[in-house]
């Protein structure tokens, strides 16, 4: 009799996996759920609201929001700030093999998501075992729905993982998987250090615009956070990598901010919460191309609810990749968007692109201060012999000459080039040319288009 029940259960599971649906109820066995005792009951449901549970039968489950560091997202996910979502936030993805996982100590777990007409399917793994395929599809949007639930698990540590399949029901218009929260009969397990590199709120590589206050907060990562309530105040992070997470404080005094990624507004987020909570994900982007990215957080100085505050709080950024120094506005006032400034007194070359200071390089200039102070234009570029006096690259500066009709640019002997005498950098050493470290001129050369303006000044 027991073998017949096991075969029947296996047949139900196979049919449901093929159809994308999950069985409404089933009796677990050691064969199908090795971590569950044969006598335990495991209930798995699709589309059942967590509000349907009888509060008198078992203790209320503990809600684990998507913005906690204990919930780990891998692959490509986007962050959604939604008033209808649990905790006002959720994540969504349709990229195959993108996954979310969490661990807990307890006897039951449910995945809470948003159903809708453009939703797809995901595979559920419980303690490493492929357990079910769930569908997030519904003809109309339904928020905070339990798309999967397992109960009667053996006491102890369990791990649940949800993997995006990229498949869907016939009636669905797309394959999005929308994860909101987890309900656990137990407690969340510690997951160790959050992966990635920490960029604290006071890191000198960040660029802060407007009025920000640095506050001590023992509940924040690193013991502090940056705060502003000023409209237009912003902070910029530059990094090369694939993932970035903004952690901050949420509470009644917090309001709205915009998030810009690589020059495009990608989200409007709210840090409002009825009770103060720290170390929460405010916004995240994963699965980006492994290139250089700029993230700008702009405070709107605006409340997200009538009685809420307007603060924006930055605790820490977590980056998968390497952290770069964010671009600053050029500390000069010249009429061009892109140009080079040679500052002779400080022995510095400033590279400005789109009115932003990209980088500052050390240089050498003319003996006895013989490099003229004037305006030039890069009108020729050369690949020179690495062993020559010019190093591997040279950019010739044509001098600007006033005419009755404006200006013209004439050939000169002056250039920006490398050097094989690195010890002269920071001194007056040339016949008037601008010398750079070879590694620096190799980096700068491909960025500078012909026609770039140059200013040499005292």
Residue carrying the six token digits 């044969």: 38
- Catalytic one among 178, 383, 417, 431? 417
Q: Write phi, then psi, for 284 (nearest 5 degrees).
A: -150, 150
Strand ranges, E, within 116-171: 121-126, 129-135, 142-150, 157-164
- Contact (Cβ atoms closer than 8 angstroms) between residue 238 and residue 206: no
- Contact (Cβ atoms closer than 8 angstroms) between residue 159 and residue 131: no
**DSSP summary character for residue 2:** H
**DSSP summary character for residue 426:** T
Q: Rounded distance, CA 411 to CA 397, Å?
A: 7
**CB-based burial label for 31 (10 Å; 0-12, 13-18, 19+):** exposed
- Contact (Cβ atoms closer than 8 angstroms) between residue 293 and residue 263: no
- Contact (Cβ atoms closer than 8 angstroms) between residue 127 and residue 107: no
Q: Rounded distance, CA 19 to CA 16, Å?
A: 5
Examine the residue annotation and report whether 433 is marked as an active-site residue of this protein.
yes
Q: Rounded distance, CA 397 to CA 334, Å?
A: 18
- Contact (Cβ atoms closer than 8 angstroms) between residue 22 and residue 145: no
- Catalytic one among 33, 178, 365, 433? 433
Examine the residue annotation and report whether 370 is marked as an active-site residue of this protein.
no
Per-residue buried b or exposed e for 153-171, using 16+ beta carbons within 10 Å of the residue's own CB: beeeebebbbbbbbebbee
Q: Write phi, then psi, for 60 (nearest 5 degrees).
A: -60, 135
Q: Between the CA of residue 287 and those of 76, 163, 284, 291, 454, what are the distances in Å? A: 4, 14, 10, 11, 39
- Contact (Cβ atoms closer than 8 angstroms) between residue 30 and residue 38: yes
Question: Which residues are known catalytic residues?
Answer: 417, 433
């Amino acid at each position: 009799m027991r073998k017949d029940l096991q075969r029947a259960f296996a047949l139900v599971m196979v049919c449901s996996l093929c159809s994308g649906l999950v069985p409404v109820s089933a009796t677990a066995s050691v064969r199908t759920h090795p971590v569950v005792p044969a006598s335990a009951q495991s209930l798995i449901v699709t589309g059942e609201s967590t509000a349907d549970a009888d509060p008198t039968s078992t203790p209320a489950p503990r809600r684990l929001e998507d913005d906690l560091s204990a919930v780990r997202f891998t692959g490509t996910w986007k962050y959604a700030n939604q008033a209808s979502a649990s905790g006002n936030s959720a994540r969504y993805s349709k990229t195959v093999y993108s996954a979310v996982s969490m661990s807990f100590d307890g006897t039951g777990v449910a995945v809470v998501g948003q159903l809708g007409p453009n939703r797809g399917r995901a595979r559920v793994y419980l303690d490493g075992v492929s357990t079910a395929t769930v569908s997030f599809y519904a003809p109309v949007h339904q928020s905070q729905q339990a798309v999967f639930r397992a109960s009667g698990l053996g006491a102890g540590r369990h791990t649940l993982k949800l993997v995006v399949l990229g498949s869907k029901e016939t009636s669905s218009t797309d394959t999005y998987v929308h994860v909101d929260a987890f309900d656990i009969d137990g407690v969340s397990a510690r997951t160790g250090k959050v992966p990635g590199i920490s960029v604290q709120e006071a890191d000198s590589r960040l660029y802060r615009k407007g009025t920000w206050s640095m506050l001590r907060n023992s509940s924040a990562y690193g013991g502090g956070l940056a705060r502003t309530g000023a409209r237009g105040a912003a902070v910029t992070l530059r990094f090369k990598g694939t993932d970035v997470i903004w952690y901050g404080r949420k509470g009644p005094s917090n309001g709205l901010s915009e998030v810009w990624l690589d020059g495009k507004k990608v989200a409007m987020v709210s840090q409002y919460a009825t009770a103060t909570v720290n170390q929460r994900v405010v916004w995240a982007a994963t699965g980006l191309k492994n290139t250089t990215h700029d993230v700008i957080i702009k405070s709107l100085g605006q409340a997200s609810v009538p009685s809420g505050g307007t603060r924006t709080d930055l605790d820490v950024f977590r980056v998968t990749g390497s952290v770069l120094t964010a671009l600053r506005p050029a500390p000069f006032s010249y009429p061009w968007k892109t140009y080079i400034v040679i500052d002779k007194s400080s022995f510095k070359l400033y590279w400005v692109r789109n009115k932003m200071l990209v980088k500052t390089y050390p240089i050498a200039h003319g003996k006895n201060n013989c490099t003229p102070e004037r305006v030039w234009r890069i009108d020729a570029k050369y690949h020179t012999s690495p062993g020559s006096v010019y190093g591997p690259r040279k950019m010739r500066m044509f001098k600007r000459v006033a005419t009755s009709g404006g200006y013209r640019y004439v050939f000169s002997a002056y250039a920006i080039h490398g050097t094989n005498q690195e010890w002269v950098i920071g001194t007056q050493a040339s016949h008037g040319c601008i010398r750079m470290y070879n590694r620096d001129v190799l980096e700068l050369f491909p960025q500078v288009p012909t026609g770039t303006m140059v200013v040499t000044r005292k």
